[in-house]
Chain A
């Protein structure tokens, strides 16, 4: 192949993309949709359920304060502390629940794998930035809140190419 024809071929390949629709989208206004409600784990079968590993959600009515999540995190990120909570639950005698420092968390989800009581899951929420270090520490009360997220962009790939919809 000659030099000229090679360069024309390369230019032609690029030019063809001028008119095609892009698959990139405007991030803060539009957000990508994930599978499911986040990473969950079924301790009975020992297998997780596919989902995004974002900020955790804690179910206070299920947490027994057994500290297994904290022990799992000890060798990984040391992000989970077990402070005392005001609430009184019959199944949580010590009244302690996980508090997660997202300045340390690596979002591996092994704490979710460690929980035997279906109390700790992960959600699709990944926007956790804060102006202070203290703002990154989520107390049990903050972890209880289900995140309000509006993720609806899906990328469609077909024979013609990729585009977002």
Chain B
């Protein structure tokens, strides 16, 4: 306590540390109200302009989704389970529906599987566009905020016609989907996808090939292949570090093995690569949607009729899918009840958060936004 400058009778509350004034190291709280932090706080210690310590502090939007799930039956769990990521609501319900179907022993019709894949891929595009808009605005590129938000609106309109709601669709259900697609949906969807693909190329012109962005994000926050695996990251963060891991390829669910697509891998592992992978994913999603529309059976049932309160046996199941941020898994334990005994959600955001202290330590303070947002982190999902 050499640098103590406070009067001797200053009362220090237990658990509260007063900072020494003449210290070299300064503590900064980024968030939880800072618009650039999302609903979370990052406690960083800076030495001049360099970050020497970083401690992410999530938990501000914890809603107890897992506990809530224990008091609701398998159908009424649907609306609240999609709340953690409302932009990606189809993908967060996907593992739940796959798991419950396995528990109840339901076989979903072929047409429903294709509709689910189309909805999930459209939703992935909606999510990534939203994320891209935020990434753009925090790098000071306001065109990259306006364009994805505008184009996202068209995609939301399409999902709206398909599912009946703009963001919280509640569309997937154990046993298929809630309703069949409208009559002229295939035509609308194809035109939308063609338009969207053209727009993505313009995004590249204005953003990804922009020398200003490249000089800002290249070689900032480099995550090596070994570290990415050791830290247990997933999704775009893992694939940007050169690991070819995509659940859609490794553990194909529904009809993904019949569809023609590839996974995108970049070797650099820096902020630029992490932001480019989602863009490549959107191009891939367009291919998947087009292929799925072609191969989809033209008619057939889309939903298996269930009993009002379906009861599962004394088993448990774990299913995971590739969401907009990475692998999203749900572990459902059933004990002969209409409600799940336990439901554990393994979210990609929380898994990618662990890379943040690793990446930010040693970086300049100005590199915080490009590194933080390139992690594809969604605080609400991480807190559940």
Q: Is the CB of B191 within 8 A of A6?
A: no
Q: Is the CB of A75 within 8 A of B170?
A: no
Q: How many Å lie between the Cα of A72 and that of B79 in the bound state?
A: 12
Distance to closest chain A CB from B93 (angstroms): 11
Q: How many Å lie between the Cα of A45 and that of B179 in the bound state?
A: 11
Q: Is the CB of B179 within 8 A of A46?
A: no
- CB-CB contacts of B15-38 with A at 8 A, as 1s and 0s? 000000000000000000000000
Which A residues are in CB contact (< 8 Å) with B207?
Answer: 10
Which A residues are in CB contact (< 8 Å) with B306?
Answer: 46
Which of B159-167, B245-253, B274-282 forms part of the interface with chain A? B159-167
Which A residues are in CB contact (< 8 Å) with B262?
Answer: none
Indicate if B80 sits at the interface (CB-CB under 8 A).
Answer: yes
- CB-CB contacts of B49-79 with A at 8 A, as 1s and 0s? 0000000000000000000000111011011
Q: Is the CB of B164 within 8 A of A110?
A: no
Q: How many Å lie between the Cα of A38 and that of B209 in the bound state?
A: 43
Q: Is the CB of A47 within 8 A of B202?
A: no
Which B residues are in CB contact (< 8 Å) with A13?
Answer: 202, 205-206
Number of A-B contacts (CB under 8 A): 113
Q: Is the CB of A35 within 8 A of B182?
A: yes
A32-B157, A47-B180 known; A7 and B164 CB under 8 Å?
no
State which of A48, A106, A110 has its C-beta within 8 Å of the C-beta of B179. A48
Indicate if B12 sits at the interface (CB-CB under 8 A).
Answer: no
Which B residues are in CB contact (< 8 Å) with A113?
Answer: 178
Which residue of A has the minimal Cβ distance to B173? A113
Q: How many Å lie between the Cα of A58 and that of B150 in the bound state?
A: 36
9 nearest CB pairs, A to B: A48-B179, A46-B305, A13-B205, A75-B76, A6-B211, A108-B79, A53-B164, A108-B170, A3-B211
Given contacts A50-B180, A50-B182, 14 further A-B contacts (CB under 8 A): A2-B211, A10-B207, A12-B205, A14-B206, A46-B304, A46-B305, A47-B178, A48-B180, A50-B161, A72-B76, A76-B72, A76-B80, A109-B164, A110-B170
Residues of B that sit less than 8 Å from A by CB: 71-73, 75-76, 78-80, 143, 150, 153-154, 157, 160-165, 168, 170, 178-182, 188, 191-192, 194-195, 202, 205-207, 209-212, 214, 301-306, 308
